[in-house]
Structure 1
Amino acid sequence: MNAPRTRVQRRPVHGVLLLDKPLGFSSNQALQKAKWLLRAEKAGHTGTLDPLATGVLPLCFGAATKFSQLHLDADKTYVATVQLGVKTSTGDAEGEVIAERPVQLTPDDLARVAAQFTGAIRQVPPMHSALKKDGKALYEYAREGIDVERAPRDVSIHALALTALSPDTLRLVATVSKGTYIRTLGEDIGEALGCGAHLTSLRRTATGDFTETQCVTIEALEAMSEDERLARLLPAEALVAGHSRVTLGTEDAARFLSGLRRRGDWADATEVAVFGEEPAAFLGTAHVTANELIPGRLLNPIEIQQILLNAPANATLCETTP
């Protein structure tokens, strides 16, 4: 006989949880676990991490999901361990060994390769990725033994440090643009060194301004009370910390929230975070052109009220399991 499902009372939860994604969890599994622990109605993440990767995974709840795209586009920093001399079918330790070559590594080799892969480069996306071809993820083709032609993509490696941990192992630290595959970077570095390589570990240490020191683990969340879990949430406006800031009076704020442009003495800006003056609340994003504040993604009045009251309302009873 099946055990009864745990019934939880869902509620509106708004904010950003910086999770330290554990090894072996998919990004969606981590999201669903955190959503269950917070009893949140609505949640999303800001870009996936492979199950074999750990580290910074910002999770968005409620109103914050409207701004998650901003961190999909953010630069990210990774730390990886690269095994030289061994190529695998997936570019990481999960794949089958497909080639082995001797390793002869010198400090000059590391300096040359680090310089070669710093700046604007082109990458061919790996078959074991979530990119889609004809509506089907590349990893699904890979599981069927089908190799699909992939066009190279332009990415930027803003900073790259390579350190020899042993004669055949490297520590790789890279800050990269969106769309960069660290597995592919590790493989390409191995080819440039003439020996091949694959990743044996991968950790994201930063995405945008968010760093691993701000993160909480799933185990720590599980040990917290509900109030402690809610206290770990950053406000939705944490996702727009780098935007210019505009504050509107009560009348202008109400009109702005209804989608109307406002005029004022503002300089042109492509990224603006808009706040109300009374009550002091985050209203959404906009851009300014020719002294006009043009609405972008907006919170609705109910979301703003819930955030200001910091109390769930209209909770619904549903069935779920962690």
Structure 2
Amino acid sequence: MSQVRRPKRDVDGVLLLDKPLGVSSNGALQKARWLFTAAKAGHTGVLDPLATGLLPVCFGEATKFSSFLLDADKRYTATVAFGRVTTTGDVEGEVVSERPVDVSRSALEAALDRFTGPIRQVPPMYSALKFQGKALYEYARQGIEIERKARDVIIHGIDLLSFDGKEAVIDVRCSKGTYIRTLGEDIGEMLGCGAHLSGLRRTATAGFEIGSAVTLEALEGRDVPERDALLLPPDVLVRHLPEVSLGESECFRFCRGQAVRFSLNCAIMTRFRVYREVDRKFLGLAEWRGDSSLQPVRLLAAQAVS
């Protein structure tokens, strides 16, 4: 007997999910989507199955603005195990070399200082970066090494939370595109003993904190209205942008993709959040074109702004 399909809902909003260990980002996304019976969903940046922590999930109209989180700074708690280098840079890979560990806390702190600020990283082979349409990890699993160019990233800060002589727990604040596995490996190489990650947890991204996140288990224990109450509005994804409000006549044209006349003191083209003045309803994003007009660039669906 075939299963009866559950009808999908038009759910709009952002869920701050605490991704569990051993589950892929897409797996966590699909589970959350099923729990909300959402018609459309997407996440805002991949976490490895062996990583846990903050994974903002976007439903419905919020997916239109999810790309803004891809460029956001991140924060992680990482556990770096010294003395072993693995094929993947974490505990999932095979050990390729072992070296004795003789690292003092002061030497470790000095190494962390040297990795703070603008640095260059070579992306790992076991990553989702694409080469000729295939993810690098697909080549890596076949034993094929692809040349990768070093990329510029920024480590805003690293704090040493604990160190027992063999394993260190560090708090890392970094820019987009930073590979914490690579950072751990590079720290180990600088110290002469090698290293890999034995744990990784994302604790913040784009101003969102892990303390506000909910687990899949907790979601399962709630009914639909309680789950919906956890959703943040779509405009939280673009809260870093300046805002403008439009009157009724301007809203009518703006929501139909037409530029509207609007006086702003802007010297350069700037992107804005746009709201309806009468009720503060979020309409979408616009660009100031320097000719006293706001041009719509990304709008919510008509039913969301009617």
* Structure 1 unmatched ranges of 5 or more: 306-322
Which amino acid counterpart does residue 28 of structure 1 have in structure 2? Answer: N
Determine which of 160, 163, 175 is the counterpart of 1:162.
Answer: 160
Alignment correspondent of 2:300: 299
CA RMSD across the alignment:
1.4
1:242 pairs, out of 232, 240, 243, with 240
The correspondence of residues 189-268 of structure 1 with structure 2, limited to 5 A, is 189-268=187-266
Structure 1 distance, partners of 2:270, 2:31, is 36
Contact 2:77/2:202 (<8 A) preserved: yes
Alignment partner of 1:172 is 2:170:
yes
By how many angstroms is 1:205 displaced? Answer: 0.1
State the distance in 1 between where 2:270 and 2:90 align: 39
Q: Is the 8 A contact 1:267 1:288 kept in 2?
A: no
Per the TM alignment, residue 163 of structure 1 is displaced from its structure 2 partner at its CA by 4.1
Counterpart CA distance in 1 for 2:109 and 2:217 is 40
How big is each residue's C-alpha offset from its partner over 1:52-73, in whole Å with a ceiling of 9 and x where there is no partner? Answer: 0000000001100000000011
- Equivalent residue letter for 2:297: G
Whether the 8 Å CA contact 1:244–1:272 is kept in 2: the answer is yes
**Which of 1 and 2 has higher RCO (CA within 8 Å, sep 6+)?**
1
C-alpha distance in structure 1 between counterparts of 2:31 and 2:2, whole Å:
18
**Equivalence for 1:282:** 282
Contact 1:101 1:195 in 2 (8 A): yes
Over 6 Å off, 4+ runs: none
CA contact (8 A) 2:105 2:163 kept: no
Render the CA deviation track for 1:213-269: whole Å, top value 9, x for unaligned.
110000000010000011110000111111111010111111111222223232326
**TM-score, normalised to structure 1's length?**
0.91
Counterpart Cα distance in 2 of 1:125 and 1:5: 43
Distance in structure 2 (CA, Å) of the matches to 1:85 and 1:303:
55
- Identity percentage of aligned residues: 54
**Secondary structure in structure 1 of the residue aligned to 2:245:** strand
Q: By how many angstroms is 1:165 displaced?
A: 2.2
In the alignment, the residues of structure 1 paired with residue 74 and residue 288 of structure 2 have an alpha-carbon distance, to the nearest angstrom, of: 28
Q: Using the TM superposition, give the Cα deviation of residue 46 of structure 1 relative to its aligned residue in structure 2, in angstroms.
A: 0.5
Q: How far did residue 118 of structure 1 move?
A: 0.7
State how far apart, in whole Å, the 2-side matches of 1:162 and 1:193 are: 15
Q: Distance in 2 between matches of 1:38 and 1:6?
A: 17
The 2-side partners of 1:170 and 1:94 are apart by 18
- Structure 1 segment 71-220 matched on structure 2, within 5 A: 71-220=69-218
Question: Residue 211 of structure 1: CA displacement?
Answer: 0.6
Give the SS at the match of 1:128.
Answer: coil
Following superposition, the deviation at residue 6 of structure 1 comes to 4.9
How much does 1:154 deviate?
Answer: 0.7
Q: Which runs of 5+ in 2 are unaligned?
A: none
Task: Please give the alpha-carbon distance, in whole angstroms, between the structure 1 residues aligned to 2:286 and 2:172.
Answer: 32
Task: Choose 160-169 or 113-122, whichever is displaced more.
Answer: 160-169
SS, match of residue 8 in structure 1: coil
Q: Deviations over 1:141-164 (max 9, x none)?
A: 111111111111111111112344
Greater Cα offset, 104-113 or 129-138: 104-113
- In structure 1, the partner of 2:57 is 59
Could you say which residue in structure 2 is the equivalent of 1:315?
A: none
Number of aligned residue pairs: give it.
Answer: 303
1:97-127 deviation digits (Å, cap 9, x = unpaired): 1111111212331232112111111111001
Does the Cα contact within 8 Å between 2:54 and 2:210 map onto a contact in 1? yes
Q: Which moved more, 1:162-171 or 1:212-221?
A: 162-171
SS in 2 for 1:50: coil
Shift of 1:300: 2.0
Mean CA deviation greater in 13-22 or 286-295: 286-295
Equivalent residue for 2:43, pick from 42, 45, 50: 45
Q: Find the counterpart in structure 2 of residue 310 from structure 1.
A: none
Measure how far apart 1:294 and its partner are.
Answer: 2.4
